[in-house]
């Protein structure tokens, strides 16, 4: 590299861009061009060297060794035009970190000690020193900003952890009440057709109270919990479209059961006459079910899944958030029977993925209402579940008798 090319390069760097061409020319004699391979070290932590380095070609990484583990932690990356190593000269100390090439790298090494000792270059040295002081001050200001941002992120994370812990405590308390009251209803109430909907409605709204409180005290916007009307029409349509294959699958599953398993042969694919005969109760309970859907989705997807997503770390955090919130969703259906809980689990995974895609409760509420109402009030999956449960009871009684 000739001097003219070197001068042009230095004038383009952050450090020397304010120097005149003549001033840059005066430091050229104190610069060496050094090439490093991937296995080399530009310098190691604890070295006595004092040179200021500028990346000419390639890149390098700044490393700091942990004293206990002896492992290197990467602090940053240096690219073409970046300078480093000035603090050893300014503080007259050993190297506080190591720098290693990430690829074959060419650097310019400015010998500041030699420049300082040259009487005729005192003015040049002081000018370089002033530039370094200015840049160090700017870097410290940026570092302060980064530290503040880092502290703010940590405070937000602590707030989120506290919020999640409160939410989980509320979930555990209410689920305990849910299962115990469900057992009492199962034992003492003969009119379960009336007791179950009333109980479910009451418990859902009991669940909504702590969730709404968490949203109220949260520093996150309502949209974080899916409470937004942005693109609501599109999301509602997507909810219908995405639900259609599941409804078709539900129809074919019932058809297969009717055609192949004797216990289901008396069922109608779509019990039209039953729907006509019981249309009042179907309309009442169907409407109640649809009205309760937003409460379920707000609890499970809006609050639980959103909080879990921020709580978990790593690339699988979305999946873990969907899985964790959906396990709660499944357990809430366990009191109604094992197979209903299984169906709810797989449908919940679908709704969790839809919520993650849309970041809105609109689509999942539409899908949940459509699928649930169709399966249980039109295709009468409740009759299928009752037959399955009775088959299991018969098998259990036979096993006890045989024993």
Give mean pLDDT, residues 356-360: 95
Which tokens in the block code for residue 41? 């070290």
In a shared domain, residues 137 and 231: no
Distances (CA, A) of 11 to 14, 20, 22, 171: 8, 8, 11, 63
Is the per-residue pLDDT at 31 higher than 50?
yes
CATH number of the domain at 75, please. Answer: 2.60.120.10
Distances (CA, A) of 213 to 163, 172, 296, 328: 10, 16, 16, 19
Kindly state whether residue 171 falls inside one of the protein's structural domains. no
How many Cβ atoms sit within 10 Å of the Cβ of residue 63? 18
In a shared domain, residues 381 and 234: yes
Kindly state whether residue 381 falls inside one of the protein's structural domains. yes
For the chain, the average pLDDT equals 84
Is the per-residue pLDDT at 403 higher than 80?
no
Kindly state whether residue 184 falls inside one of the protein's structural domains. no
Dihedral angle of Cα 190, 192, 196, 198, to the nearest 10 degrees: -70
pTM of the model: 0.60
Domain boundary among 94, 119, 148: 148
Full residue range of the structural domain in which residue 323 is found: 192-401
In a shared domain, residues 220 and 315: yes
Kindly state whether residue 165 falls inside one of the protein's structural domains. no
Kindly state whether residue 156 falls inside one of the protein's structural domains. no
Kindly state whether residue 111 falls inside one of the protein's structural domains. yes
In a shared domain, residues 268 and 359: yes
Is the per-residue pLDDT at 96 higher than 90?
no
Domain boundary among 148, 164, 179: 148
In a shared domain, residues 77 and 213: no
Give mean pLDDT, residues 250-277: 89
How many Cβ atoms sit within 10 Å of the Cβ of residue 199? 18
In a shared domain, residues 245 and 122: no
Whole-number pLDDT of residue 364: 96
Instruction: Read off the DSSP letter of residue 43.
Output: B
Whole-number pLDDT of residue 233: 95
Kindly state whether residue 138 falls inside one of the protein's structural domains. yes
Is the per-residue pLDDT at 396 higher than 50?
no
In a shared domain, residues 201 and 114: no
Tokens 């942990």, located at residue: 66
Domain boundary among 116, 148, 180: 148
Bridge partners of residue 84, in order along the sequence: 53
Q: Count structural domains, the chain.
A: 2
Query: Do residues 228 and 306 lie in contact, with contact meaning Cβ atoms separated by under 8 Å?
Result: no
In a shared domain, residues 96 and 224: no
Cα distance between residue 242 and residue 2, in whole Å:
66
Task: Give the number of C-alpha atoms closer than 13 A to the C-alpha of residue 254, restricted to the C-beta side.
Answer: 23
In a shared domain, residues 233 and 316: yes
In a shared domain, residues 144 and 204: no
Tell the burial category of 308 from Cβ atoms under 10 Å away from its Cβ (0-12, 13-18, 19+).
buried
Cα distance between residue 276 and residue 380, in whole Å:
13
Query: In this predicted model, what pLDDT tens digit does every residue of 276-330 receive, in sequence order?
Result: 888 888 898 888 889 889 999 999 999 889 988 888 878 888 999 999 888 888 8
């Amino acid at each position: 590299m000739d001097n003219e090319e070197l001068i042009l390069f230095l004038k383009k760097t952050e450090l020397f861009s304010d120097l005149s061409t003549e001033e840059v020319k005066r430091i050229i004699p104190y610069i060496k061009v050094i090439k490093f391979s991937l296995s080399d070290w530009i310098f190691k932590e604890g070295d006595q060297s004092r040179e200021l380095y500028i990346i000419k070609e390639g890149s390098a990484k700044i490393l700091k060794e942990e004293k206990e583990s002896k492992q290197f932690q990467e602090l940053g990356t240096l690219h073409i035009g970046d300078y480093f190593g000035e603090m050893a000269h300014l503080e007259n100390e050993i190297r506080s970190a190591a720098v290693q090439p990430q690829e074959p790298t060419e650097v310019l090494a400015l010998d500041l000690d030699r420049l300082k000792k040259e009487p005729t270059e005192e003015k040049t040295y002081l000018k370089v020193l002033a530039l370094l002081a200015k840049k160090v001050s700017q870097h410290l200001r940026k570092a302060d900003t980064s530290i503040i941002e880092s502290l703010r992120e940590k405070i937000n994370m602590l707030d989120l952890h506290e919020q999640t812990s409160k939410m989980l405590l509320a979930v555990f308390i209410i689920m305990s009440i849910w299962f115990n009251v469900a057992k009492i209803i199962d034992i003492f109430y003969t009119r379960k057709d009336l007791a179950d909907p009333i109980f479910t409605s009451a418990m859902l709204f009991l669940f909504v109270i702590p969730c709404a409180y968490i949203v109220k005290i949260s520093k996150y916007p309502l949209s974080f919990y899916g409470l937004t009307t942005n693109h609501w029409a599109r999301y509602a349509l997507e909810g219908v479209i995405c639900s259609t294959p599941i409804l078709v699958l539900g129809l074919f599953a019932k058809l297969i059961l009717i055609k192949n398993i004797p216990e289901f042969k008396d069922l109608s694919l779509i019990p039209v006459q039953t729907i006509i005969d019981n249309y009042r109760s179907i309309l009442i309970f169907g409407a109640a079910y649809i009205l309760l859907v937003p409460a379920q989705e707000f609890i499970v997807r809006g609050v639980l899944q959103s909080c879990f997503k921020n709580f978990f770390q790593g690339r699988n955090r979305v999946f873990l958030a969907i899985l964790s919130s959906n396990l709660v969703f499944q357990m809430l259906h366990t009191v109604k029977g094992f197979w209903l809980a299984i169906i709810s689990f797989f449908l919940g995974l679908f709704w969790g993925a839809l919520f993650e895609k849309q970041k809105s409760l609109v689509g999942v509420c539409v899908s949940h209402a459509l699928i649930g109402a169709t399966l249980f009030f039109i295709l009468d999956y409740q009759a299928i579940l009752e037959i399955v449960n009775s088959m299991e009871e018969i098998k259990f009684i036979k096993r006890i008798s045989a024993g």
